[in-house]
Amino acid sequence: MNIVADSKRIDWPNTCFVQSVADANQFPAGDWPQVAVAGHSNVGKSSLLNTLFGRKGLVKTSKNPGCTRLLNLFEVDAQLLVVDLPGYGYARAPKAEKNRWARLIDDYFSHATELKLVLLLLDIRHGPKDSDLQLVECLNEAGIRWLPVATKADKLSGNERSRRLKEMKDAIMLAPIPTSSLKTMGIEQLRNVIEEEAVSNSADTIESWLARTTR
Ligand code: GDP
């Protein structure tokens, strides 16, 4: 992965929580690049964000799946805004709740002009579910770049892990980055991708990006 030579590396632990917002209009002023992180509830999003930031406990793990209704904003090294989207797909959530989630996300995607990349978190053991595929469709329609990230890779051993990764790639047409928060695996690669996609000023085409990430 080439990082443009003059781009400043991000000091990831220099991250702080900014605020939680209930809709896109409440975003703080500023035009920092944004990276949003999405996934099914319980996919390991809070754990991954804490590991990515190198800050244990900064992102609260939700004890109550499906009960997060806000976008949580994190400022990373005064260069980047990471937007933690509420987990979706909680089977027992009432329909009205699911509709609220969809409206919130739709609203965010249509207003986030500085959104550079969405990380789609998928549990390596389960692969993409219908709600993940719906999100992929929505991102593709909106022309928003996204990257699959397989979580909890430590739960599978070598061959099984490779097999699941290939199945995921076949299902969504992009190769996921395998990660484990428990074993701090894949985190540097993820940081590099985010730095290149969101912070460096490299003019890049979607074609070359796809060629690089689809291996
Ligand atoms: P969230 O609901 O998506 O924010 O998920 P959490 O980060 O709260 O994680 C859900 C559950 O998965 C918790 O019990 C975590 O301990 C577990 N978990 C998260 N990441 C990993 C990982 O990399 N490996 C393993 N083995 N478990 C994980």
Q: From atom 17 of ligand 1, which residue's Cα is the shortest distance away? A: 44
Task: Name the residue among 199, 202, 211 with its Cα closest to residue 76.
Answer: 199
Q: Which atom of ligand 1 is nearest to the CA of 43?
A: 3
Distance 48 CA to ligand 1 centre (A): 8
Does some domain include residue 8? no
Does some domain include residue 9? no
Helix (H), strand (E) at residue 191: helix 187-194
Does some domain include residue 7? no
Does some domain include residue 167? yes
CATH number at residue 170: 3.40.50.300
Task: Name the residue among 3, 184, 178, 197 with its Cα closest to residue 82.
Answer: 197
Q: Which atom of ligand 1 is nearest to the CA of 50?
A: 7
Q: From atom 20 of ligand 1, which residue's Cα is the shortest distance away? A: 44
Per-residue pLDDT of the chain (215 residues; tens, 9 = 90+): 444 444 568 999 999 999 999 888 888 877 889 999 999 989 999 999 999 999 989 998 765 554 557 899 999 999 999 999 988 877 677 788 778 888 888 889 988 889 999 999 999 999 899 989 999 999 999 999 999 999 999 999 999 999 999 999 999 999 999 999 999 999 999 999 999 999 876 555 444 545 554 44
Maximum pairwise Cα distance, the chain: 49
Does some domain include residue 52? yes
Which of the listed residues 61, 72, 187 should we mutate to test ligand 1's pocket, taking the one with most ligand atoms within 8 A of CB?
Answer: 61
Q: From atom 18 of ligand 1, which residue's Cα is the shortest distance away? A: 44
Does some domain include residue 10? no
Distance 133 CA to ligand 1 centre (A): 21
- 3-state class (DSSP) for residue 192: helix
Name residue 34's amino acid: Q
Tokens standing for 76?
A: 């990373």
* pLDDT on residue 101: 81
* pLDDT on residue 5: 46
Does some domain include residue 204? yes
Q: Which domain holds residue 130?
A: 15-213
Distance 40 CA to ligand 1 centre (A): 11
Does some domain include residue 5? no
* pLDDT on residue 64: 58
Instruction: Find the residues whose C-beta lies inside 6 A of ligand 1.
Output: 39, 41-47, 61-62, 65, 87, 151-152, 154-155, 180-182
Which of the listed residues 42, 43, 47, 50 should we mutate to test ligand 1's pocket, taking the one with most ligand atoms within 8 A of CB?
Answer: 47
CA gap 68, 123 in Å, rounded: 19
DSSP 15-77: EEEEEEESSGGGPPS----EEEEEEBTTSSHHHHHHHHHT-TTSSPPPSSTT---SEEEEEET
* pLDDT on residue 93: 72
HSE of 203 in the Cβ direction (CA atoms, 13 Å)? 0
Distance 201 CA to ligand 1 centre (A): 33
Count up the domains in the chain and report the number: 1
Distance 207 CA to ligand 1 centre (A): 33
* pLDDT on residue 81: 95
